[in-house]
């Protein structure tokens, strides 16, 4: 998340008008109280990756990321901005303390800056890539629908997959012209869909087979929508004593396939 832009807006020689500029990191909205809770789930230690991500998003909205990443350091003692910095720093410290467990809060409450607290929490709770990737891969491998609804199963798989995605290397040169990045992205998407379909209960085997025949394969959200539609259809037919639900949904999927590539579907049939 880019934070340097806010830091470049100000220098130690700036006047008190900085607090009146909404684009300034020193600006405080009337709703920016010390009791504000920025994230719904407090930091407990195990959830550092998701917690820090949520906090950075919330802090970026408040234009206060610069106080945790250190890009706006404490001004010198003679700077007119010192009091502004102290006020904002303490506000951000309060928000952090409101967003972590009481046990963790007790260990950082005497820190002097939000940046110091942020680095402390990162050093303590951010797991190294190797062990965390291994843990997530194992969770993904062992994840099956079981007694969960399709929606609950997909939500759990998505949370694991999205965190794994954060560890995936990305190209930042912006000069790739061979199309390799697109191929890698398509392969990654296919693995996502395959992981979802593999964990489904065997009762979805017929519609799963139909989805796997599609070329190109549907986006993950479309696949989820079709499986959810099948689940709802079964619930309806169960209530009304109709046993033709799966055949009906299979027809819907097959009809969808014909819209994607009628010639290929005809050849396969």
C-alpha span between 15 and 8 (Å, rounded): 15
Which pLDDT score is estimated for 265?
45
C-alpha span between 45 and 51 (Å, rounded): 9
Which pLDDT score is estimated for 12?
43
pLDDT band at 85 (very low <50, low <70, confident <90, very high): very high
Which pLDDT score is estimated for 6?
43
Which pLDDT score is estimated for 192?
94
SS3 4: helix
Which pLDDT score is estimated for 170?
66
Which pLDDT score is estimated for 250?
58
Say if residues 92 and 114 touch (Cβ distance below 8 Å). Answer: yes
Which pLDDT score is estimated for 258?
56
The total of other beta-carbon atoms located within 10 Å of residue 235's CB is 12
What average pLDDT does this structure show over 66-93? 91
Residue with tokens 């206060």: 64
Which pLDDT score is estimated for 240?
64
C-alpha span between 257 and 254 (Å, rounded): 5
C-alpha span between 70 and 93 (Å, rounded): 13
Say if residues 10 and 81 touch (Cβ distance below 8 Å). Answer: yes
C-alpha span between 265 and 269 (Å, rounded): 6
Which pLDDT score is estimated for 46?
80
Residue 17 clears pLDDT 90, i.e. is over it: no
What average pLDDT does this structure show over 141-170? 91
Residue 140 clears pLDDT 50, i.e. is over it: yes
Residue 223 clears pLDDT 90, i.e. is over it: yes
Q: Where are the domains of the chain?
A: 4-125, 129-268
Residue 168 clears pLDDT 80, i.e. is over it: no
Which pLDDT score is estimated for 127?
73
What average pLDDT does this structure show over 59-69? 95
Residue 172 clears pLDDT 80, i.e. is over it: no
Kindly state the DSSP code that residue 8 receives in the 8-state scheme: T
The total of other beta-carbon atoms located within 10 Å of residue 165's CB is 11
E strands in the chain:
none
Identify the weakest region by mean pLDDT among 49-58, 183-192, 200-209, 220-229.
Answer: 183-192
pLDDT band at 184 (very low <50, low <70, confident <90, very high): confident
Residue 255 clears pLDDT 90, i.e. is over it: no
What average pLDDT does this structure show over 228-236? 91
Buried b (16+ CB within 10 A) or exposed e, 54-89: bbbebbeebbbbbbbbbbbebbeeeeebeebbeebb
Which pLDDT score is estimated for 266?
46
pLDDT band at 242 (very low <50, low <70, confident <90, very high): low
Residue 113 clears pLDDT 90, i.e. is over it: yes
What average pLDDT does this structure show over 62-71? 94
Which pLDDT score is estimated for 126?
82
């Amino acid at each position: 998340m880019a934070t340097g832009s806010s830091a470049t807006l100000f220098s130690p020689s700036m006047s008190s008008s900085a607090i009146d500029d909404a684009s300034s990191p020193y600006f405080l909205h009337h709703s920016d109280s010390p009791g504000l809770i920025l994230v719904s789930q407090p930091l407990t230690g195990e959830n550092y990756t998701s917690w820090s991500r949520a906090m950075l998003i919330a802090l970026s909205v408040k234009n206060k990321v610069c106080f945790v990443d250190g890009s706006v350091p404490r001004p010198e003692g003679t700077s007119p901005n010192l009091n502004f910095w102290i006020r904002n720093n303490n506000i951000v410290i309060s928000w952090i303390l409101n967003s972590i467990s009481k046990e963790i809060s007790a260990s950082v409450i005497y820190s002097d800056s939000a940046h110091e607290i942020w680095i402390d929490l990162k050093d303590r709770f951010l797991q190294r890539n190797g062990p965390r990737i291994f843990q997530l891969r194992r969770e993904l491998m062992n994840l099956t629908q079981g007694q969960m609804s399709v929606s609950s199963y997909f939500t759990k798989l998505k949370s694991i997959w999205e965190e794994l995605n954060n560890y995936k290397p990305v190209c930042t040169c912006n000069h790739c012209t061979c199309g390799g990045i697109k191929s890698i992205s398509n392969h990654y998407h296919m693995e996502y869909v395959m992981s979802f379909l593999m964990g489904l209960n065997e009762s979805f085997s017929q519609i799963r087979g139909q989805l796997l025949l599609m070329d190109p394969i549907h986006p993950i959200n479309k696949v989820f929508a079709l499986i959810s539609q099948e689940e709802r259809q079964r619930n309806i037919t169960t209530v009304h004593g109709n046993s033709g639900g799966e055949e009906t949904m299979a027809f819907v999927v097959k009809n969808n396939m014909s819209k994607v590539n009628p010639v290929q579907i005809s050849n396969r049939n």
